[in-house]
Structure 1
Amino acid sequence: MNGEAVLTSVADGVATVTLNRPDKRNAVDDATRGALIDALEGVGADEAVRAVVLTGAGPAFCAGGDIAGMRARLDAPQGRVGFNGWRRQKRTHRLIATVHGLDKPVVAAVNGPASGLGCDLALACDFVMVGPHATFAMAYLRRGLIPDGGGLYFLPRRVGLARAKELIYSARTIDAAEALAIGLADRHADDVVPAAQGWAAELSRGSPIALALAKSILNRALDLTAEEVFALGSEAQAICYATDEHRDAVRAFLDKSAR
């Protein structure tokens, strides 16, 4: 079990998905990317799972892309480097889309450094909880690259455009306190994984159907007009009207009021 690149455990309706390459600071290579997609799709399809926590084993959350993998990529025949990179980008974007699109609350429990793709993974979650040793770095420009794991989309929405530019251009590392101050992180806990699991459980107490529908709209709301959001909301509410959760809640309220 400990030899697996990604570990998954479920307790009280909360799935904890753990990057498990502590000797590599949980850097993501091709195999880990695939294992993480499989794990997330698995918990997403499991109706017993109501919320997800994403974290890393050992002292790091995720150091980003695996440098050994980058070297192997550059060692490919010159005529294949671009096409191979394009295919790898598609898999990376599938990973980020899977995190972002889960129809359950997803909390990143950032226990240590989150750099490059690791920072992007945290930002793709609904919420970010930091431990005392958490740090964040949009380190791509140090490698001659641009953020390719969603940071160009998620970071400005969290911290504003100017601050996102500063963090990306400088590639500097920020600590947990600054992450909280600028809105990159949401909460702090000394024992971050149990705290994130507790928070995830709180977030998932309502109707899973209503939550999934609300999240699907909220994930797009900043890119839509008010009229488009209202239209999507009307369609989603019609579905909610027909759910057992809504019917049971109305009956329980009426029964209580009649006493």
Structure 2
Amino acid sequence: MTTSDLLALREATLRIGPGGVAEFTHRRPEARNALSMAMREDYRDMLERVENDRGIRALIVTGSDGSFCAGGDVKGMAAMHASQSEAGAAAQARSRIAADHHRWLDRLRSLDVPVIAAVDGPAFGAGASIALMADFVLASTRASFCMVFARMGMVPDFGAFHTLPRLVGLAKAKELMMTARRFGAEEARSLGIVHAVHEPACLLDEARHLAARLARGPRDALGMIKNSLNRSFDCDYRTMAEIEAHQQAVAMSLPFHADAVQRFLRKESPAYDWDRAVEGKGTA
């Protein structure tokens, strides 16, 4: 990467690497990368770049200094309590803030490129919720997750009511949210939250390896697959069939499909062949 590939934001950085793999890194180590208002602005700026750059084909979201994201900024919460003496005004302000962060969270969830969360250390509260927005979660052996909200007399936020029960089932989601207990990487993998567990020193390289392989795929088709799967739990069969028909017509009109057909006729390997990449050597 060259220096032009690095964008320094307020409390995060965005790097655009080879093959169109972008890396968004939380950089607030003094607070274990807690999600401040400034970092939320960084997410908006990052999303603006990724959404408008067709050269970006995969996104990695990660932390720094042994922490993914320790959750919400409790000191910021204390300041809000101190500055808003009237309960009604405080509730209205918090409602506006929540509505605002759901706008950029939906953009993160709906990105038309694969999103990988590389979780090293704690992913608590909002940090865990952000990880759940990713398409793939890779965790280090020292990663830990916690729906910590109930400890603070709060309810889960940042989309966790939507994402967690779809991943682990309703009963398990109730247990994790109502006990607010901490759980490690291996349990998270057994629950279907984590895709793979790696040693801390290897985690980011493994995330880059996965991102690079996904980035070689059909960008538009993968984006449509992701979009349809995100909607599949909320739509009936007929609606999903209509979406499928429309997306298939679009996909089959694109150059990637035409090239794949010609490769098949010439008895050549597909340009995007996951099994061949797994079995081959030096494949990213």
- How many residue pairs were aligned? 257
RMSD: 1.5
Q: 1:1-259 maps to which residues of 2 (within 5 A)?
A: 4-12=10-18, 13-77=20-84, 78=86, 79-190=88-199, 191-256=202-267
What SS does the aligned partner of 1:63 have?
Answer: coil
Which stretch has the larger CA shift, 197-206 or 156-165?
A: 197-206
Query: Which digits, 9 at most, give the CA deviation of each residue in 1:2-57, with x for residues without a partner?
Result: 78301011212210100110111111111110111211231232111100100001
Where in structure 1 do 4 or more consecutive aligned residues deviate above 3 Å?
1-4
Using the size of structure 1 for normalisation, the TM-score is 0.95
Q: Is the 8 A contact 2:10 2:38 kept in 1?
A: no
Deviation (angstroms), 1:252: 2.8
Q: Is the 8 A contact 1:6 1:39 kept in 2?
A: no
Q: Residues 3, 256 of structure 1: CA spacing in aligned structure 2 closer, same or farther, 3 A cutoff? A: closer
Q: Is the 8 A contact 1:22 1:58 kept in 2?
A: yes
Whole-angstrom distance in 2 between the partners of 1:41 and 1:121: 17
Unaligned stretches of 5+ in structure 1? Answer: none
Q: Is the 8 A contact 2:8 2:14 kept in 1?
A: no
Deviation (angstroms), 1:91: 2.1
Using the size of structure 2 for normalisation, the TM-score is 0.87
Unaligned stretches of 5+ in structure 2? Answer: 1-6, 269-284
Whole-angstrom distance in 2 between the partners of 1:29 and 1:211: 32
